[in-house]
Chain A
Amino acid sequence: AQSVTQPDIHITVSEGASLELRCNYSYGATPYLFWYVQSPGQGLQLLLKYFSGDTLVQGIKGFEAEFKRSQSSFNLRKPSVHWSDAAEYFCAVGSNDYKLSFGAGTTVTVRA
């Protein structure tokens, strides 16, 4: 069965500093990988996705993620965070069969 682990429940980062959120997955075949962001009181927004090809994926809002098959990881990064990046971030893994498995999420707090 597929699963996702986000090891960090909560991360605090200073505005302007870099951010990296970890995601490890378990999947028997080539995975489809996703990162979503959720602002308080709202639904999830798709940041980026990986299906195949270049292992460094660019997304919206200045985020990128790197797929490392050898480490079963898909970490999300942003070089310089803004206060508006404070939110909860979810990693998800699946295939092209409509069923995604989501991690438990990482809450990001941005301090001035």
Chain B
Amino acid sequence: NAGVTQTPKFQVLKTGQSMTLQCAQDMNHNSMYWYRQDPGMGLRLIYYSASEGTTDKGEVPNGYNVSRLNKREFSLRLESAAPSQTSVYFCAGGGLYSNQPQHFGDGTRLSIL
């Protein structure tokens, strides 16, 4: 039982490059989330998907796009990476008994030069 799996775990990009972060869950979660974590700021919601086929903006959506490919997969895309997007990105699943994240992946550490 893998839970929530994120790939890659680490990535270095140059400014202007694009990249897609992948997330897959095998816990039958209805809702999925993408957060970024920056020092001293806790987690901030980028986008979420309440159910398959729907996506909505969170607190900091600018510069990102998402796709809920199916119930299991929820990807995050950076179209033109900027140094301000250097962060640790977490995917989470939820919705088993409330509309909040229950299980998190181990994160993707992204550096943009």
Contact = CB atoms under 8 A, between A and B. Distances in A.
A43 B33 CA distance: 13
B106 A98 contact: no
Interface residues of A, number: 23
Interface string A84-97: 00000010101011
A104 B42 contact: yes
Nearest to B35: A102
B100 A43 contact: no
Given A43-B92, A44-B104, A98-B31, A104 B41 contact: yes
Interface residues of B, number: 27
A46 interface: yes
A94 B43 contact: no
Given A44-B90, A104-B40, A99 B48 contact: yes
B104 A32 contact: no
A110 B59 CA distance: 34
Given A42-B107, A43-B4, A34 B43 contact: no
Interface of A: 4, 32, 34, 41-46, 49, 51, 90, 92, 94, 96-100, 102-105
27 contacts: A32-B98, A34-B100, A42-B107, A43-B4, A43-B105, A43-B106, A44-B90, A44-B92, A44-B104, A46-B102, A46-B103, A51-B98, A90-B42, A92-B100, A96-B98, A96-B99, A98-B31, A98-B33, A98-B48, A98-B94, A98-B99, A99-B58, A100-B101, A102-B43, A104-B40, A104-B41, A104-B42
